[in-house]
Amino acid sequence: RKKVTIGTLRSMHRKGEPISMITAHDFPSAHVADAAGMDMILVGDSLAMVAMGMEDTSEVLVEEMLLHCRSVARGAKSSFIIGDLPMGSYEIDPAQALQTAIRFIKEGRVHGVKLEGGKEMAPTIKKITSAGIPVLAHIGLTPQRSNALGGFRVQGKTAMGAVSVLEDALAVQEAGAFATVLEAVPAEIGEVITKKLKIPTIGIGAGNATSGQVLVQIDMTGNFPPGRFIPKFVKKYGDVWTESMKAIENYRDEVKGRQFPAKEHTYPIAKEELEMFVE
Ligand code: KIV
Ligand code: NA
C-alpha cells in the first residue's frame, strides 16, 4: 500500500472521500490497523485507560506516550500516524508545546501531533505548525478537560454552545491545523461545522457528515469484558475479548488435561541419541 501523506489526505478531502482513522497503542494494534487500510492512526492518550488501566487520561506521561508511539510507528508502514500530546505537556505556553511536539517526531517517530482545545490554543497550533509539524486539533468534547466540563458530556447542544464549537473550529483552521477532531456534538452541528470549514473534520460522536471518522480500536473491536461501559457513539464491530477468552480457557483446559502440547508441537530426537542419553 502507498504511504498516506498529508497530500493524500488533502486530495481525499477535496474529492469528498471520507478519511478513516483508528487508534493504536502498540505494535500489533498498529500493524492490523495499517493492514486493514486505515488512512490515519492515532496514538491517542485514551491508551491511558484502555491499555494502561488508568482512571482517566490525565495520568499518562510524555515518556509513556513516546514508548507507545515508537511501537506504533514500527507496526504501521503506510498510515499517517498522529501522536496525542498528553495533559500537561503543551498548555503552559507555545514553546513548551513545540518542545513536546518535537520529541513526538524525533523520539515517537509519528508524523504529526494532536492537542485538545480551540481558540485558546491558536497561538500554540501556529507555533507547532511553523516548525513544520502537522497539527490535528481536537474540539467539542475534550476529555483532558472533563473536570472542567463536568464530565464526558455532549458539547454544542445549545445554540450558544454550538456557536462556541464553531468558533473553535474556525480558530484552529486559521491557526494552521491540517484537520480537527470533532468529538461528541449533535450530528447537525457536525454537518454545519464541516461545511463551514476548508480543513477536514474527523468526527467521533459527531454524526455522518464529517470529513472522516475516528474510533478507539479497543472499543470498536470489542476487546473489553462484557458489561464495561462504552460511549453511545461507539459501534462494536467485533468481539475480540470473547475470542481471546475462549482461546485462553481452551489452553488452560488442555494444559490441565495434558492434551497440550501434542506431538506436532514437540522436537524430535534420533533414537540412537536418545538411547545413548538414557544409558
Ligand atoms: O485519545 C483518543 O483516542 C482520542 C480519540 C478518541 C479522538 O483522542
Ligand atoms: Na485523546
Closest CA to 125 of 182, 62, 174, 80: 174
Beta-carbon contacts of residue 187 (< 8 Å; ≥ 6 apart): 206, 207, 208, 209
Task: Report angle CA 166, 116, 140 to the nearest 5 degrees.
Answer: 35
Mean pLDDT of the chain: 97
**β-sheet bridge partners, residue 201:** 180
Q: What is the mean pLDDT of residues 27-34?
A: 98
Atom of ligand 1 nearest to the CA of 214: 7
Q: What is the mean pLDDT of residues 220-242?
A: 95
274 CA distance to ligand 1 centroid (A)? 58
| ipTM surpassing 0.95 | yes
39 CA distance to ligand 2 centroid (A)? 18
How does pLDDT run across 68-81, given as a tens digit for each residue?
999 999 999 999 99
Domains with residue ranges and CATH for the chain = 6-238 (3.20.20.60), 243-278 (no CATH)
Q: What is the mean pLDDT of residues 130-156?
A: 95
How does pLDDT run across 89-130, given as a tens digit for each residue?
999 999 999 999 999 999 999 999 999 999 999 999 999 999
Name which residue sits closest to atom 3 of ligand 1, judged by CA: 44
Q: What is the mean pLDDT of residues 206-214?
A: 98
Check residue 41 and give its pLDDT: 99
Phi, psi of 152, rounded to the nearest 5 degrees = -85, 90
2 CA distance to ligand 1 centroid (A)? 25
Three-state DSSP at 81 gives: strand
Contact (CB, 8 A) for 143 and 152: yes
Atom of ligand 1 nearest to the CA of 114: 8
- Global pTM value: 0.96
The one catalytic residue among 167, 183, 254, 272: 183
Q: Has residue 279 got a pLDDT over 90?
A: no
Pairing of strands 201-204, 179-183: parallel
Check residue 240 and give its pLDDT: 98
Name which residue sits closest to atom 5 of ligand 1, judged by CA: 44
Name which residue sits closest to atom 1 of ligand 1, judged by CA: 44
Beta-carbon contacts of residue 253 (< 8 Å; ≥ 6 apart): 259
Dist CA 178 CA 4 (whole Å):
14
**183 noted as active-site residue:** yes
Pocket lining for ligand 1, CB < 6 angstroms: 23, 42, 44-46, 84, 181, 204, 214, 216
Between 228 and 206, the more confident residue is: 206
Q: Has residue 52 got a pLDDT over 90?
A: yes
C-alpha cell at 263: 506431538
Residue with cell 491499555: 51
Tally of CA atoms within 13 A in the half-sphere of 83 that contains its CB: 33
Three-state DSSP at 231 gives: coil
pLDDT over 90 percentage in the chain: 95
Dist CA 1 CA 31 (whole Å):
13
Check residue 176 and give its pLDDT: 98
Q: What is the mean pLDDT of residues 46-64?
A: 96
Atom of ligand 1 nearest to the CA of 46: 1
Q: How far is residue 23 from each of residues 146, 190, 257, 276, measured CA to CA in Å?
A: 20, 21, 39, 56
C-alpha cell at 154: 455532549
Report residue 250 CA to chain centroid gap: 32
pLDDT band at 183 (very low <50, low <70, confident <90, very high): very high
Check residue 197 and give its pLDDT: 98
How does pLDDT run across 126-142, given as a tens digit for each residue?
999 999 999 999 999 99
Q: Has residue 244 got a pLDDT over 90?
A: yes
